[in-house]
Amino acid sequence: MHRLFIAVICAAMVVSATARADEINVYSYRQPELIKPLFDAFTAETSIDVNVSFLKKGMIEKLQAEGDRSPADLIMTVDISRLNGVVEADVTQPVTSSVINSNIPAEFRDPDGQWFGLTSRARIVYASKDRVADGEVTTYEDLASDKWKGRICIRSGTNAYNLALTSAVIAHHGKETAKGWLEGVKANLARKPSGNDRAQVKAIHAGECDISVGNTYYMKKMLENEEQIAWAESVRIVFPTFSKGGTHVNLSGMALTKAAPNKDNAIKLMEWLTGNQAQAIYAEQNGEYPLNAGAEKSALVKSWGEFNADDKALIEIAKLRPASLKLVEQVNFDE
Cross-strand partners of 125: 213, 238
Q: Are residues 173 and 201 in the same domain?
A: yes
CATH number at residue 241: 3.40.190.10
- Are the C-beta atoms of residues 296 and 290 closer than 8 Å to each other? yes
Residue 3 lies inside a defined structural domain of this protein: no
**pLDDT by residue (tens digit) across 290-304?**
999 999 999 999 999
Residue 137 lies inside a defined structural domain of this protein: yes
Distance, in Å, from the CA atom of 334 to the CA atom of 323, rounded to the nearest integer, reads 17
Residue 39 lies inside a defined structural domain of this protein: yes
Write down the pLDDT at residue 309: 94
Is the pLDDT confidence value at 30 over 90? Answer: no
Q: How far is CA 27 from the centre of its chain?
A: 15
Q: Are residues 48 and 143 in the same domain?
A: no
Q: Are residues 65 and 89 in the same domain?
A: yes
Is the pLDDT confidence value at 31 over 50? Answer: yes
**pLDDT by residue (tens digit) across 202-237?**
999 999 999 999 999 999 999 999 999 999 999 999
Q: Are residues 168 and 275 in the same domain?
A: no
Q: Are residues 216 and 155 in the same domain?
A: yes
Q: Are residues 126 and 191 in the same domain?
A: yes
Q: Are residues 72 and 157 in the same domain?
A: no
Residue 77 lies inside a defined structural domain of this protein: yes
67 burial type by CB count under 10 A (0-12 exposed, 13-18 middle, 19+ buried)? exposed
**pLDDT by residue (tens digit) across 83-100?**
999 999 999 999 999 999
Q: Are residues 136 and 217 in the same domain?
A: yes
Distance, in Å, from the CA atom of 121 to the CA atom of 4, rounded to the nearest integer, reads 59
The confidence band for 21, taking pLDDT boundaries of 50, 70 and 90, is low
Q: Which of 199, 221, 116 is nearest to 153 (CA)?
A: 199
What's the mean pLDDT in 23-28?
96
Q: Are residues 147 and 268 in the same domain?
A: no
Residue 13 lies inside a defined structural domain of this protein: no
Amino acid making up residue 112: D
Distant-in-sequence, close-in-space partners of 27: CB < 8 Å, separation ≥ 6? 53, 55, 59, 62, 63, 72, 74, 75, 76, 257
Write down the pLDDT at residue 8: 37
Q: Are residues 312 and 283 in the same domain?
A: no
Residue 323 lies inside a defined structural domain of this protein: yes
Q: Are residues 137 and 264 in the same domain?
A: no
Domain range enclosing 216: 121-248+308-330
Q: Are residues 314 and 222 in the same domain?
A: yes
The mean pLDDT value of the chain amounts to: 92
Please tell me the total count of domains within the chain.
2
Write down the pLDDT at residue 201: 98
